[in-house]
Amino acid sequence: MMTGDEYRASLRDGRRIYYDGELVEDVTTHPRMQGSVDLIAAGYDAYADSGPEAFAEAYEAPRSSAELRERLELLTKWDTSLVTTLESLNALRTAAGRMGNDVYSSRIEDYIAWCQENDVRCVQTISDAKGHRNLSPAKQDDPDVYTRIVEERADGIVIRGAKLHISAAAVTHEMVIMPTKMMRPGEEQWSVACAVPMNAPGVIVLNTTVSPRLDELDEHPYSRTRSMPEGFVVFEDVFVPNERVFLCGEVEHSATFAHSLGLWQRAGGIAHMAENFDILVGLARLLAEANGTERINHIKDKIAEMVIHATLVRAGFEAAVTNVSTTPEGWVTPNELYTNAAKYFGAKEFPRMLSLIHDIGGGSIVTAPLPGDLANPETRPLVEKYMRTMEGVSGEYRTRLFHAVRDMTASDFGGWWQVAVNISGAGLYAQKLVTTKHYDMEHAKAAARRAAGLDD
């Protein structure tokens, strides 16, 4: 297992990372990315301290509903790089089982073991640039808008293209690359899955981030522990050796990877949503108490509505991890129906949760004075006097509560979060499709016939 410092050193590997047009010499000291590196390093240190077993276990496939719940709940406590690692590797496992191709299965098994042994972090690398959305890869005027194989050699393949929105790419080690959707006969060159290290020759990563600056951490109690750079990853004729190739032209399996990843991403998504919806309910109640409004009817009603949404998302998570499927290899996957329905419901109701907490909290969510005003002896008494509401609710306490809500819901991070909940793991429409596919429509129709007295 690596320590935090060993992890930092591992990132100085010649990778080509850009931020806002500038080549980043050392991502570990970059003002907008150091915070994310520090977060992951702290995770490495925590695991290094807790003995060799702790981290290794997390890479293992869950063998029971209880283990699955444990893994998914742990994801909510971990930094994003562990989330992306485990979701990527579980997606590979799931795809290997579904493809039934011995060569690819054994390469995937070896790769997962290698990742575990080397304690590396992986990212899910699936979303292509996609060009004209209504045209298939073969019909695009630029064939590179879907990542493709441009050369097959005896010892491997060469890939070209781009994968966008790759969370945590700049601060991790390995990209698990998969086709973004189903390919058809004639689209063999775009049916490619493989693993590529971040420092492979020909890989370029352009970055954006909502991570707070290091001198702004106090004002961002939530996002400082969660923000990662988003990578715009380009493959300029990157060589991939055979042992890291998991799909090479088999169009019939192209969608297997996307579906497998979708399941794990959405399962991780609802675990996070269940946790975060509870946090939002808790913050709403704390705000109401700090404002003295918790007994007012319409405020109680708004909190009750938030409680219902939080409870239904958690119920979906519970149903997904309880009603698992067991693979022929003996490990378990979350329930597709409940995972997708819960992800859809949570993402759809998320703007409502935000509207409710903003309505409950009031304008100070975006206008409360800054931490520096609390630190400055000249301005602190003003903040203390006018942000205080009653005995037991000091100006500092209430101001910091507003900072947390601003940070989570109305900051750069808050905006990022709204798009992320809606779009990551694919948009709402994708969840509708998968939910409908797994819903027992025959059961519903039979029940309807009985109810209508038409079952004869």
Ligand X SMILES: Cc1cc2nc3c(=O)[nH]c(=O)nc-3n(C[C@H](O)[C@H](O)[C@H](O)COP(=O)(O)OP(=O)(O)OC[C@H]3O[C@@H](n4cnc5c(N)ncnc54)[C@H](O)[C@@H]3O)c2cc1C
Q: Please say which residue, 126 or 324, places its beta carbon nearer to ligand X.
A: 126
Q: Please say which residue, 135 or 447, places its beta carbon nearer to ligand X.
A: 135
Tokens, residue 69: 């719940």
Q: In the block, which residue shows the tokens 């775009």?
A: 190
Question: Applying CB under 6 A, which of residues 165, 173, 220, 302 lies at the interface with ligand X?
Answer: 165
CA neighbours within 13 Å on the CB side: how many for 351? 5
Q: Compute the least distance from the CB of residue 181 to ligand X, in Å.
A: 9
Q: Does 419 bind ligand X (CB under 6 A)?
A: yes
Q: What are phi and psi of 398, to 5 degrees?
A: -70, -35
| Contact assessment for residue 95 and residue 147, using Cβ atoms and an 8 Å cutoff | no
Q: Does 260 bind ligand X (CB under 6 A)?
A: no
Q: Does 93 bind ligand X (CB under 6 A)?
A: no
Q: Does 170 bind ligand X (CB under 6 A)?
A: no
Q: Does 82 bind ligand X (CB under 6 A)?
A: no
**Which segments of 226-367 are extended strands (E)?**
230-241, 245-248, 325-326, 332-333
**Residues, the chain, total?**
456
Question: Applying CB under 6 A, which of residues 91, 166, 240, 288 lies at the interface with ligand X?
Answer: 166
Question: Applying CB under 6 A, which of residues 94, 105, 167, 335 lies at the interface with ligand X?
Answer: 167
Residue 174 DSSP code: E
Tokens, residue 49: 């301290």
Q: Does 242 bind ligand X (CB under 6 A)?
A: no
Piece in contact with ligand X (CB under 6 A), picked from 151-159, 160-168, 194-202, 334-342: 160-168
Q: Does 418 bind ligand X (CB under 6 A)?
A: no
- Distance between CA atoms of residues 163 and 190, nearest Å: 13
CB-based contacts of 62, cutoff 8 Å, min separation 6? 68, 70, 71, 331, 332
Q: Please say which residue, 159 or 290, places its beta carbon nearer to ligand X.
A: 159
Piece in contact with ligand X (CB under 6 A), picked from 164-172, 187-195, 393-401, 432-440: 164-172
Question: Applying CB under 6 A, which of residues 92, 420, 434, 435 lies at the interface with ligand X?
Answer: 420
Q: Compute the least distance from the CB of residue 424 to ligand X, in Å.
A: 4
Tokens, residue 344: 């859809």
| Contact assessment for residue 159 and residue 191, using Cβ atoms and an 8 Å cutoff | no
From residue 110 to residue 139, the character string flagging contacts with ligand X as x (rule: CB under 6 A) and all else as - is: -------------xxxxx--x--xx-----
CB-based contacts of 27, cutoff 8 Å, min separation 6? 11, 15, 17, 33, 34, 37, 170, 171
Q: Please say which residue, 263 or 426, places its beta carbon nearer to ligand X.
A: 426
Tell me the number of residues near ligand X by CB under 6 A: 19
From residue 423 to residue 442, the character string flagging contacts with ligand X as x (rule: CB under 6 A) and all else as - is: xx-xx-x-------------
CB-based contacts of 161, cutoff 8 Å, min separation 6? 128, 129, 144, 145, 146, 147, 148, 234, 235
Q: Does 259 bind ligand X (CB under 6 A)?
A: no
| Contact assessment for residue 435 and residue 337, using Cβ atoms and an 8 Å cutoff | yes
CB-based contacts of 424, cutoff 8 Å, min separation 6? 165, 167, 265, 269
Q: Please say which residue, 58 or 166, places its beta carbon nearer to ligand X.
A: 166
From residue 188 to residue 227, the character string flagging contacts with ligand X as x (rule: CB under 6 A) and all else as - is: ----------------------------------------
Q: Please say which residue, 402 or 416, places its beta carbon nearer to ligand X.
A: 416
Q: Please say which residue, 276 or 399, places its beta carbon nearer to ligand X.
A: 276
| Amino acid identity for residue 31 in this structure | P
Piece in contact with ligand X (CB under 6 A), picked from 53-61, 105-113, 270-278, 417-425: 417-425
Beta strand 122-125 with 16-19: parallel, antiparallel or unpaired?
A: unpaired
| Contact assessment for residue 146 and residue 189, using Cβ atoms and an 8 Å cutoff | no
Q: Compute the least distance from the CB of residue 137 to ligand X, in Å.
A: 12
Footprint of ligand X on this chain (CB under 6 A)? Answer: 123-127, 130, 133-134, 163, 165-167, 419-420, 423-424, 426-427, 429
